[in-house]
Amino acid sequence: MAARSGLAMRLSWMTAALGLGLFVFDRVTGVPATADSLMTLVLFVMGLLSWALLKTRHYDGMTWMLVVFLFGIASSSAWFYGSVRTMNIVLIPMGLIAAGVFLSRRGMVWTTVAAIVLLGLLTAAEALHLFRSQPQFAVGWRTWMTQVACLFGVAAMMHLSRTHMRVAQQEHQAEAVQRLETQLDRDLEQERFANLFRSSPAPIYVQSVRTGTILEVNPAFEQAMGYTRGQVLGRKDHVLWIQDDRYQAFVEQCRRGGRTDWHSITGVGGDGRTVDLQICSDQDEGPGDGLRITALRVPVAAGELTQMVPPPGEVPSA
């Protein structure tokens, strides 16, 4: 949008300068102040208004103003010239091109309908001899200048349209590349976490924060607790613990969110045996349904632990 706006503002200044230059040239060379000559002042005003509307970011307003001015100049030229075959009638297609570059599909449809109706009215007016004068088919340098100005206008609008398409394509391509890189980074992080999770000697299980169901366990958990992966997936973790005061203290800290301290707790193994454990849990900060990762320290003999497991979120030592 910035590139398109900057180019459009330069075109507005060029239009204003062209209109003012032609008006001054006519006065210097002694061209009579006819309606056709005074149209250059209208071109100057149109350029200034376009620049002001672009400066205040009224893009649609600038386009509609441009369409109205171009249609108005074409109609006035036909009226004073005496025929719809005036050279300035090409300003109507130029207004339609401007609508196609800047406006929405609905705006372009309405502009097309207005152009068709306007050409019909001008043609009917000429057929009924309602114009002010009879057309004069003499040509001169002003005819050529008008043709050149119209060609430059069409070329400028086409260049503006191509610039807009190129910028939009580059932005879309950059967004697609960024999205792909983000997805690749996410996949790599997930793969790295999965490898660490599976190979960790620490018993770990992962839960949904929203539902509390167990989503995944690692092989160390299966070995330490005596449950197979299929026995615990989709279940709540309360079946793993003796629900005494120590369990309630752990649950209460989990409800407050974030990372818990290490808690002593009594677990229930897959064979029904009870075992004293230490447990620590951490909740991620992701939006929506986050994850809670819980790690265990399992004693194998009196006063001994299988491993000193770091809190969740830290990489366990191999």
Same domain, 153 and 56: yes
Q: Please report whether residue 41 resides in a domain.
A: yes
Same domain, 23 and 83: yes
Same domain, 161 and 215: no
Same domain, 169 and 236: no
pLDDT digit string, tens, across residues 80-126: 777 887 777 888 888 888 888 778 888 889 999 999 999 999 899 88
What is the Cα–Cα distance from 295 to 267, expressed in whole angstroms? 13
Q: Please report whether residue 183 resides in a domain.
A: no
Give the CATH number of the domain where residue 258 resides: 3.30.450.20
**232: domain range?**
200-305
Q: Please report whether residue 186 resides in a domain.
A: no
Same domain, 21 and 75: yes
94 or 164, higher pLDDT: 94
User: Among the ranges 34-38, 48-52, 151-155, which has the highest mean pLDDT value?
Assistant: 48-52
Q: Please report whether residue 314 resides in a domain.
A: no
What pLDDT does residue 31 have? 66
Q: Please report whether residue 226 resides in a domain.
A: yes
Q: Please report whether residue 318 resides in a domain.
A: no
Same domain, 150 and 270: no
Do 92 and 119 meet the contact criterion of CB atoms below 8 Å apart? yes
What is the Cα–Cα distance from 138 to 130, expressed in whole angstroms? 21
What is the Cα–Cα distance from 95 to 217, expressed in whole angstroms? 67
pTM across the whole model: 0.47
What is the Cα–Cα distance from 61 to 67, expressed in whole angstroms? 10
Q: Please report whether residue 14 resides in a domain.
A: yes
Q: Which residues contact 310 (CB under 8 A, 6 or more apart)?
A: 202, 295, 316, 317
The domain tally of the chain equals 2
Same domain, 221 and 294: yes
What is the Cα–Cα distance from 231 to 253, expressed in whole angstroms? 26
What pLDDT does residue 33 have? 66
What pLDDT does residue 47 have? 82
23 or 252, higher pLDDT: 252
Q: What is the mean pLDDT of residues 33-61?
A: 78
Same domain, 15 and 107: yes
User: Among the ranges 6-10, 163-167, 278-282, which has the highest mean pLDDT value?
Assistant: 278-282
